[in-house]
Structure 1
Amino acid sequence: MKAKDVMTAKVITISPDNGVRQAAKLMLAHSVSGLPVVDDDGHLIGIISEGDLLRRSELGSGAMLPRDAAPQSSDERARSYVKSNAWRVADVMSRDVVVVDEDTPLSRVAALMTRHGIKRLPVTRGNALVGIVSRANLLGTIVAARPDGTASGDEAIRRSIMSRLNEDTGLEGMDITVTVEDGTVHLWGNVDTQDCRNAARVVAESVRGVKGVIEHFAQLKRS
């Protein structure tokens, strides 16, 4: 699936000339943690989030500069002052925005969110904002996902498990034997770590039609 398949197309946005207080009101009213900032042509120019508002002067001097913060240069202190006291969204928003286009695969979307520690990604078509994809959108995809189809029968289940063991599981090349009896999977082999054993069990459990998994691995080696 791609970003365009799960994104929210009706996006609550704000103008760079609006006030910070208005931005906070919109976030509360629509239960969102961030707002894309767009110009008069609908082009994305930034994003303002809850994180941008955590060091506001309205919250007190302690919020503006934590006690354990490292000493700041003049420029850094000037930027902090603007972020804490400016009333316009343009002065407070983050301009270095991570975006994706409509055809970005969801795996890439999730990877970008993880790498940058962000909760949402604007979706653009050229320079125009066309949607936003959030962590909630990705969770919805997980809930709606249907199990992969597998032919019925013990042998079909066994073949599917053997194939998946050689995917990106950390188990590639390990000597694992799989047998299936009336839908119950039996795993055999020399798998030396508990993490790898857990991965083998999860591989088996993820195949449709499996009723249970029994491990017969050799005893774990003691370090």
Structure 2
Amino acid sequence: MGIKSYTGKRVKEIPKEIPLKVSDYMTRDLITFSPDQSIEEVIEALIRHKISGGPVVNENNELIGIISEGDCIKHISDSRYYNLPMEHSKVELRMIKNVETIDGNMNIFDAAKMFLEVRRRRFPILENGKLVGQISQKDILKATMGIKGQNWK
């Protein structure tokens, strides 16, 4: 007599839909700066929060620029070279004003390609002209590692 299996009928597991959109992995809780903040305040915030930069927004939460560690270092270098006081410089004088953004509905692999082509560390994401999040290179890496666990072998 043969051995019977009591495990029941084996049904193939239907794979869950894997989130692949930028909005699924972007950071929504952002540290932002205002154009009238001093560069010293920005430097303190970058160090305190262990970040390399952040978006600059106006009072309506509309993106007007990005300030980075590199912008702050350039300010320090220029102020020391020209013997200028540091505390009077504002973010609006050092921020990058022409900011490239990406769509939250973009595929993360297309976003990864954009990071390689444009050579940026982060891209802000806007909805209806308002800043809603930001995706960084590290966010893309985290996303691909999560996907790898489900699909890549």
Q: TM-score by structure 1 length?
A: 0.54
> Which residues of 2 match residues 117-196 of structure 1 at below 5 A?
117-145=119-147, 146-148=149-151
Shift in alpha-carbon separation, 1:7–1:57, aligned structure 2, 3 A: closer
> Matched residues in 2 for 1:107 and 1:86: separation?
42
Which residue does 1:8 correspond to in 2? 27
Aligned CA RMSD, in angstroms, stands at: 2.2
Larger radius of gyration: 1
> Matched residues in 1 for 2:76 and 2:26: separation?
34
Point out where structure 2 has 5 or more consecutive residues left out of the alignment: 1-19
Which residue does 1:18 correspond to in 2? 37
Which residue does 1:107 correspond to in 2? 109
Which residue does 1:153 correspond to in 2? none
> Matched residues in 2 for 1:55 and 1:13: separation?
20
Report SS of the residue matched to 2:74. Answer: coil
Shift in alpha-carbon separation, 1:86–1:118, aligned structure 2, 3 A: farther
Shift of 1:54: 2.3
Q: RCO higher in 1 or 2 (8 Å CA, sep ≥ 6)?
A: 2
- The one-letter code of the counterpart of 1:16 is P
Point out where structure 1 has 5 or more consecutive residues left out of the alignment: 65-83, 149-205, 209-223
Shift of 1:11: 0.5
Shift of 1:94: 0.1
Question: How many residue pairs were aligned?
Answer: 130
2:73 pairs with 1:54: yes
Q: Percent identical across equivalent pairs? A: 28
Greater than 6 Å deviation, 4+ residue runs:
none
